[in-house]
Structure 1
């Protein structure tokens, strides 16, 4: 039985909370006090020293929240524990302020928690400078079109590995709505043995130079080799997409830093063994972020990619997809690349050339989870699906309310 129209209202961030409270007719001063009380957050910390865990538990209880810790914490029989902070945004904001004055490194916890709570809110519209070409993030989801100039790519190998076909395909993708082109000269499919830097550049050079003369969108080069990246950037490429997150070639971070270009850092690893799937992925990407920052790159110049299809089983890929929103934790733009991948083929039992619908589903789910850029082969179909998803997701709940 419904009483007084009782229902659940989905409130995921502070802006949605403000709109919902305004619809009630609450006093603006009251809205300011209540806005963070309707949003629950679960914040996990890993391997926290026991004395820090005790303080966090005590302080969370003092602000009206709670903290889950290992059952042996009370007996002091362990040295460290994972901690799950459980509370509203307002309670977690209070906690962050309180621990800034605490010992044992808790000041760092307070600053990190404040930043994390900010990163979980919808990002404002901002611009990335790609060597004179601008990408606007936050207004809509951007489309990156894939152009493989390889004879052996898993999806479209050999279709565009001559200059004329590659240039025509690039033009078609731009006409279909691609905001960025990503050119790759080496297949990165599973179990691929690789090619030399010289061969990779031989494939890339003519197409890259021709497109730089003819197209207006930023061009990304998909490579994990520093020497190839340097030559591409010297030729005028606008950004680098590294499937090993700056961690395969020790010179790659310096190259992107010297040219001060945006870089996509993807999670990758040999094998599929994890201590904790999401925790290990985040640790890898955090290292990539630190490498980029230490070489002078700025916050939005570092774009993170969860690495669907790389170093993960189908089940692991599906779990990452289900938890895409958690990548907001890193506070960087997020790129999703699932186009035609084996996760889709294995789930739907379909060959590469029949995976469009599955790709569209993942693209839409990516937008729901707050992804900034979608990397795809089939630009036109994905662009249409993304425009529809953007119209729903990026319009704030309650936007049709006149008093909001």
Structure 2
């Protein structure tokens, strides 16, 4: 038989070990070689020239590479980005040396180590939703959207009445929804702001019926501490905050007191970015820290890239294309693309004809790291998620 050359794409250490094991190497050899089989590229921002030159010197000494701007060499710039390129074996040796360096580099070494750990594949974890448990990571969870609003872009006014909302929630659970996300305020472009009293009057009557009859956790889509307080007191399980604790400074404290999980979505006032994915990650990293400072444990935090918020059409596509980069934060990722304008603008279809486009974003989102998908068409997207899981998670979508 002629010799052949094939390729293997290795994403993490376990895959590297499996490939080497399949060759027939012994246990000691697998342990030594596997860290050489995983290559990572990390980008660090805000590095001063003194730090940058030490980083480059130490990484080069370990056999890796560090790209810095030219001006960092002669200190003609104030800061530079650094692009690190190395195998896990090289990173380990580099981190050990960086820990011994001054100028804040020991702290950076810890951050690099944490980032590398977060990139080692999906972790299966149990999310305690105030007594209801959700297993995240084994399969993709589906969150069904329930809008108690008259002006939602997709189904405004259909589920304002508690009886109609309850019927829809039951339908979504029967179709496979793992979470019901109840919202009382539209977030469509050009929406009208409403008072906290109006939001509560829409949400609470529906919520009171849901917590009595619906078996899955109920999430409340709100950024207001007052609404979260009343909803959690009435039995809600999760808070879904479209402003990632930036809209109301009291919200983090409320969520912490009720020991509820929180979903933090990237948002902003404009779409002007120098390095979009780095800035989205930075925004979410700051929100995670706000949550933790308030007493919300990291294991209660879910992140959302905010498709359709503070992003142009092209930027929304780029976020979807690069979604995997957010796995560096180490939190489960929620993806909400259902029927959104990025689909309408791509396929030139009205809201009620975007199910296939939504399915494409769900499938590719799961392949790129999404753990939860927020959707209107639950039955169809459960099927998409199960098929995607069977491919991406090695059969975890079965059953």
CA distance in 1, matches of 2:228, 2:265: 16
Distance of 1:53 and 1:74 partners within structure 2: 8
Residue in 2 that maps onto 1:400: none
Other structure's SS at 1:117 match:
helix
Equivalent residue, structure 1, for 2:318: 319
C-alpha separation in 1, matches of 2:116 and 2:134:
25
Deviation at 1:35, TM superposition (A): 0.7
Aligned to 1:230: 229
Q: CA deviation at 1:265?
A: 0.4
Displacement of 1:3 in angstroms is: 6.2
* Displacement of 1:140: 0.5
Give the Cα–Cα distance (whole angstroms) in 2 for the partners of residues 206 and 228 of structure 1.
Answer: 13
Alignment of 1:66-145 (within 5 A): 66-145=65-144
| C-alpha contact 1:258 1:295 (8 A) present in aligned 2 | no
Q: 5 Å matches for 1:151-230?
A: 151-230=150-229
User: Which residue does 1:295 correspond to in 2?
Assistant: 294
TM-score, normalising length: structure 1 = 0.96
Deviation at 1:193, TM superposition (A): 2.6
Q: Within 5 Å, which residues of 2 pair with 1:304-315? A: 304-315=303-314
Asked if 1:277 is matched to 2:287, the reply is: no
In the TM superposition, residue 260 of structure 1 has moved relative to its aligned partner by 1.4
The Cα shift of 1:274 comes to 1.7
- For the residues of structure 2 that align with 1:26 and 1:276, how far apart are their CA atoms? 43
Is the Cα contact below 8 Å between 2:49 and 2:73 reproduced in 1? Answer: no
- Matched-pair contact (CA < 8 Å) for 1:197–1:227: yes
Matches of 1:371 and 1:310, distance apart in 2:
18
State the distance in 1 between where 2:103 and 2:198 align. 53
| Distance change (3 Å), C-alpha of 1:254 and 1:3 | farther
Tell me the secondary structure at the aligned position of residue 170 of structure 1: helix
Q: TM-score, normalised by structure 2?
A: 0.97
Q: Deviation per CA, 1:288-332, whole angstroms, max 9, x where unpaired?
A: 101110111112211000000001001000010010001111111
Equivalent residue for 1:6?
5
Q: CA deviation at 1:144?
A: 0.5
Task: For structure 1, list consecutive stretches of 5 or more residues without a partner in the other structure.
Answer: 397-404
Q: Is 2:365 aligned against 1:366?
A: yes
Separation (CA, whole Å) in 2 of partners of 1:171 and 1:94: 54
* Whole-Å separation in 2 of the counterparts to 1:295 and 1:78: 37
2:376 aligns to what?
A: 377
Equivalent pair of 1:300/1:333 in contact (CA under 8 Å)? no
State the alpha-carbon separation in 2 of the partners of residues 227 and 47 from structure 1: 37
Deviation of 1:44 (Å): 0.4
Distance 1:63 1:3 in 2: 37
Distance 1:81 1:205, change over 3 A: same
Q: SS of the residue aligned with 2:142?
A: strand
Tell me how large the CA RMSD over aligned residues is: 1.2
SS at the partner of 2:42?
strand
1:46 alignment partner in structure 2: 45
User: Per-residue deviation at 1:74?
Assistant: 2.1
